[in-house]
Structure 1
């Protein structure tokens, strides 16, 4: 190998190492966050809330789940500020510790029968800490990957940390299936939370071994860092922050309707056991380990926007068919419906968010810009399982089905207004963009 070939391979090797480290940490934090959603749908309504009505208990559990989402913008603000002031790596380390510590403590909480009102109060406090930690995680993880990557490969390397989300969900659902098969009573839900201590230790070890973002180091060397980056980006780019939040609704909102809400829906509607939804989620997550890389690489070739629109347009058309498949009660159709919602609705959108959002802001306020935009969507997404449950109680399954599709409409409209950033893509609109424009005009 020539000296020039060796030199050119070094940035790719470093980008691969950093992306892998970011992915592992994201998987650990995603596991911690998602086991709460599974536990809230299947156990917490009875364990922490004193009620004889199943739907009331589930609504209360989803309300505490939403608290974590409501705290994520605070985590995003803190991560953005310190990520742009002190560095991306520092934020990644403290966010992992905050998330992991809160998760382990949830596994050790007393139940309502044991401690009365103190039990749900402690649950809510720990969920708030989870939300702050998870809100701080994403921006630092994807920036480390994207800012170490060559510009023409940001779509691919930026998609690597995104794999941590389906991997974390895969581990979370697998943990509940395994604990359900091996354990009994309270240990079925406690064991997955307590097991987090081992994964956090692994994540910390891997993240300590990576270097700081070169683009942050350059901004620091050039003396272009600002004192209040989060406040500055809010003042100068608040429209873009809201636009990013709108872009995320189909991805994050649709995700929680198709997974967390669906776990409770199949029980409330009496159509199937929750394990069928878990298997669909696991299969979709397993496929997502490859699909995210495929979509990310594709965005380097044809652009971020066309790949995103593949997912947002599918979200629009799949809402009612998804619930019809679930309502059939046929196990295969239930599994396929949930897996399709992840593979074709969530994954194309989520795969390109890292590179697309990163490329919208300059390096000295980039952590703040993407963290705030990403986590502002949580203010809506966190309430969607609660809203979907309330809609089902009021109007039946058509309510959450239409809600799922409307999320796709919002994200599609936002995507059409967002500028393309992939270096290799011409400025002319692609066929899928032209189709989306026609569809949006018809709406």
Structure 2
């Protein structure tokens, strides 16, 4: 289990590194380089718009790779999604700026961001099922939390490299070529991930399905036709995790460095400290989920997010590094109450023959509402005098929507799951 979980964690970290390095670049440099005729605010909004395209692509990637995972096995998903995301990320680092090739530059950026999202949409389902379907029932939450630590590891790697380059290079050097280095590094990381995953075995549950010839012929059609309510509730429930995470790691970075005048290195350090703590507590909370159930922690996390969004904005507005750190840490700790256990919870909601598609599409639908829109909406809401209370209202609203969706989803504690095992889905 440790070897499998490590392969899952490392691969997920690499894919999220690819995804996050784009978000950091969008917050810091992509606006002036690829949308130079726009005002600073409009350029940032346009850069975040290309950032959001990756989230729109993620449910499509989930459907594509989910079909492969439910029909042909989880292992091909792990390899194919990593390769696609890695190649697209390296290519982003090679796209010339608007000054060199004109309108073709943002068009290429948009296309490659779409391919990034397509690959990452398949990664999560394959990674969590690798651990969830190998793990013993009583420790499923713990082992499934390893891929849930991947986003934190990927973010720290992406921002750590960006932070080092930002400190070592002049402003002109960083804008000219320094921002491209983290994208090029994705190629080496992808090769390392493929090497690590090359010997991963297929999961026992899929092998049993294949031996009995019980794979779904059209898993997406079955999920949409038979379990559309479960799918929509899953997407709505996941929105809070995306919204809060990207409010802290992308919007707050752009807002603090642009509007508040906080030094880029200082703000990157603040955000990285919050993400590091989030990653460290993830397995601890997952163990609590194994003991008390996943759904209670999801409800607690959504409620905590709703309560913390106004303090988060108020602390960010101070521009004091210590207080901003407190605000960001509080937001991510509230969010991780939910995020730590969904790697086990979402697969438990779906039968094995539909699991790779259902869990992954539901997970990534939440990204469209919470991840794609949050940086754009928050940036627009913050365009005015005074503290951006509109951002706090927006994030609180998403938190309450997710709280309602989690309240309508079923509990999957082992005793209840055993009673429903003969059903096509828990719901």
Separation in structure 2 between the aligned mates of residue 25 and residue 55 of structure 1, nearest angstrom: 35
Q: 2:338 aligns with which of 349, 366, 371?
A: 349
- 1:333 is aligned to 323
Moved more, 259-268 or 216-225: 259-268
- Residue by residue, what CA displacement relative to the aligned partner does 1:39-91 show, whole Å, maximum 9, x if unpaired? 00100001111225210100010011111111111101001111000111101
- 1:201 is aligned to 191
Q: 1:65 aligns with which of 47, 51, 72?
A: 51
Kindly indicate whether the alpha-carbon contact (under 8 Å) linking 2:167 and 2:265 is maintained by their aligned counterparts in 1.
no
Mapping for residues 320-399 of structure 1, pairs under 5 Å: 320-342=310-332, 344-381=333-370, 382-393=372-383, 397-399=388-390
Is 1:28 aligned with 2:14?
A: yes
Secondary structure at 1:210 match in 2: coil
Is 1:256 aligned with 2:242?
A: no
Kindly indicate whether the alpha-carbon contact (under 8 Å) linking 1:75 and 1:132 is maintained by their aligned counterparts in 2.
yes
- 2:68 is aligned to 82
- Cα 1:226–1:257, aligned 2, differ >3 Å: closer, same or farther? same
- 1:237 is aligned to 227
Kindly indicate whether the alpha-carbon contact (under 8 Å) linking 1:103 and 1:194 is maintained by their aligned counterparts in 2.
yes
- Residue by residue, what CA displacement relative to the aligned partner does 1:107-157 show, whole Å, maximum 9, x if unpaired? 111001111111111111100100100111101100111000001111111
Secondary structure at 2:17 match in 1: helix
Kindly indicate whether the alpha-carbon contact (under 8 Å) linking 1:303 and 1:425 is maintained by their aligned counterparts in 2.
no
Secondary structure at 1:102 match in 2: helix
- Cα 1:77–1:108, aligned 2, differ >3 Å: closer, same or farther? same
- 1:179 is aligned to 165
Separation in structure 1 between the aligned mates of residue 149 and residue 139 of structure 2, nearest angstrom: 16
TM value normalised by structure 1? 0.90
Kindly indicate whether the alpha-carbon contact (under 8 Å) linking 2:132 and 2:344 is maintained by their aligned counterparts in 1.
yes
- 1:100 is aligned to 86
Separation in structure 2 between the aligned mates of residue 313 and residue 385 of structure 1, nearest angstrom: 21
TM value normalised by structure 2? 0.93
Secondary structure at 2:161 match in 1: helix
Separation in structure 2 between the aligned mates of residue 149 and residue 182 of structure 1, nearest angstrom: 44
RMSD: 1.6
Separation in structure 1 between the aligned mates of residue 301 and residue 64 of structure 2, nearest angstrom: 30
Kindly indicate whether the alpha-carbon contact (under 8 Å) linking 1:109 and 1:122 is maintained by their aligned counterparts in 2.
yes
TM superposition shift of 1:401: 1.1
Kindly indicate whether the alpha-carbon contact (under 8 Å) linking 1:40 and 1:62 is maintained by their aligned counterparts in 2.
yes
Secondary structure at 1:373 match in 2: helix
Separation in structure 2 between the aligned mates of residue 401 and residue 89 of structure 1, nearest angstrom: 41
Kindly indicate whether the alpha-carbon contact (under 8 Å) linking 1:167 and 1:289 is maintained by their aligned counterparts in 2.
yes
Is 1:419 aligned with 2:410?
A: yes
TM superposition shift of 1:305: 1.4
Separation in structure 1 between the aligned mates of residue 179 and residue 417 of structure 2, nearest angstrom: 51
Secondary structure at 2:414 match in 1: coil
Return 5+ residue gaps in structure 2 as ranges. 419-427
- Cα 1:364–1:52, aligned 2, differ >3 Å: closer, same or farther? closer
Kindly indicate whether the alpha-carbon contact (under 8 Å) linking 2:166 and 2:265 is maintained by their aligned counterparts in 1.
no
Is 1:16 aligned with 2:2?
A: yes
Is 1:140 aligned with 2:126?
A: yes
TM superposition shift of 1:379: 2.0
Is 1:110 aligned with 2:96?
A: yes
Moved more, 137-146 or 179-188: 179-188
Separation in structure 2 between the aligned mates of residue 334 and residue 271 of structure 1, nearest angstrom: 13
Separation in structure 2 between the aligned mates of residue 140 and residue 116 of structure 1, nearest angstrom: 38
Moved more, 260-269 or 153-162: 260-269
Moved more, 166-175 or 307-316: 307-316
Kindly indicate whether the alpha-carbon contact (under 8 Å) linking 2:308 and 2:330 is maintained by their aligned counterparts in 1.
no
Separation in structure 2 between the aligned mates of residue 27 and residue 289 of structure 1, nearest angstrom: 11
Return 5+ residue gaps in structure 1 as ranges. 1-14, 428-443
Separation in structure 1 between the aligned mates of residue 186 and residue 110 of structure 2, nearest angstrom: 19
